[in-house]
Amino acid sequence: MTIRIWSTSPSFGYFAAGPVNFLKSLGYEVDLVPQGKKLSEEEMIRSVKDYDAIIAGIMPISGPIIKAAPKLRIIAQHGVGVNHIDVKAASEKGIVVTNAPGGNSDAVADLTMGLFISLARRIPYADRLVRNGQWAPIVGNQVSGKVLGIVGLGQIGKKVAQRGVGFNMKVLAYDVFKDYEFAKKWGIQYLSLDDVLAQADYISMHVPLSPETNKLIGERELRLMKKDACLVNVARGTIMDEESLYRVLKEGRIKGAALDVFSNEPPTGNPLLTLDNVIVTPHMGGYTIETLEEVGMICAKNIVEVMNGRPPQFVVNSEVLK
């Protein structure tokens, strides 16, 4: 019987063909949800019953969807975060949930540094100025030699730290789980969240979304920052209290922010989009050809392992393997 795989990811199979070709070479059937198409829960319930595996993107994989899939054996997240997957419901049915940590860390770290530089040198504003027929020097700030604050020194945070060191930045970090060996090697100082926010010139967010990190950065935390500090969020939108961030930016209390993620995506009507000191990008941190190839292959190989009765990599609900 042919193994059928359903990808609800907006990027799997569209930019890097290797993972799809790998699965098809093994005789698997792969169906892709068209790019940009958003399915309702009811539509997903009607479709999922025929599939042995799901490659998940950002559309929710709810309990009712999982319960409507009698053949489903694995949900492979095409990325890291699984907060949109009902992992408990999957575990109750013995369905393995996997993700792909670290596969996008270089891509997200590159974007983080690019956003820092864009904020510091006001690159998007300068581009608009010249296109509108104006020509005047735009005075910005340097990134090199400044203080970099990293909130969440995990795989992505560490890549950002390494890039910061390359820019001759002093690196401060806040994390509940501390890797002292890495910190010593790269000259990173662990501090409290408040101290990182108060001392850094450039701050980037890299914590996972959890009850503890939801709205981790609110009004109080934002007002601890330096007046000329810049903030980058490439983690999850709800880590920031967006209403507080809007007020602080509108007041000019901090210099600027760059946001790749929002509490609601797309952020239609979000007042942050009206501010000149905000740079916005469409949740593209992990979207490079190299990353999509790597993350896609992790998903594909995990599916193959499960279908052959072997434990896959990066299992989120390891209790199902027991």
Catalytic residue chosen out of the listed positions 73, 78, 283, 294: 283
**Catalytic annotation on 243?**
no
Q: Which of 52, 95, 106, 34 is nearest to 294 (CA)?
A: 106
Catalytic residue chosen out of the listed positions 42, 43, 46, 265: 265
Q: Round to whole Å and give the CA distance between 217 and 114.
A: 22
Token pair for residue 214?
Answer: 């939801």
Q: Round to whole Å and give the CA distance between 31 and 98.
A: 19
* Token pair 């983080």 in the structure block, residue: 112
Asked if residue 235 lies in contact with residue 207, where contact means CB atoms within 8 angstroms, the answer is yes
Catalytic residue chosen out of the listed positions 73, 236, 242, 294: 236
**Catalytic annotation on 310?**
no
Q: Which of 83, 109, 75, 64 is nearest to 6 (CA)?
A: 75
**Catalytic annotation on 236?**
yes
Asked if residue 295 lies in contact with residue 103, where contact means CB atoms within 8 angstroms, the answer is yes
**Cβ contacts of 176 within 8 Å, gap of 6 or more:** none
Token pair for residue 58?
Answer: 């950002």
Catalytic residue positions? 236, 265, 283
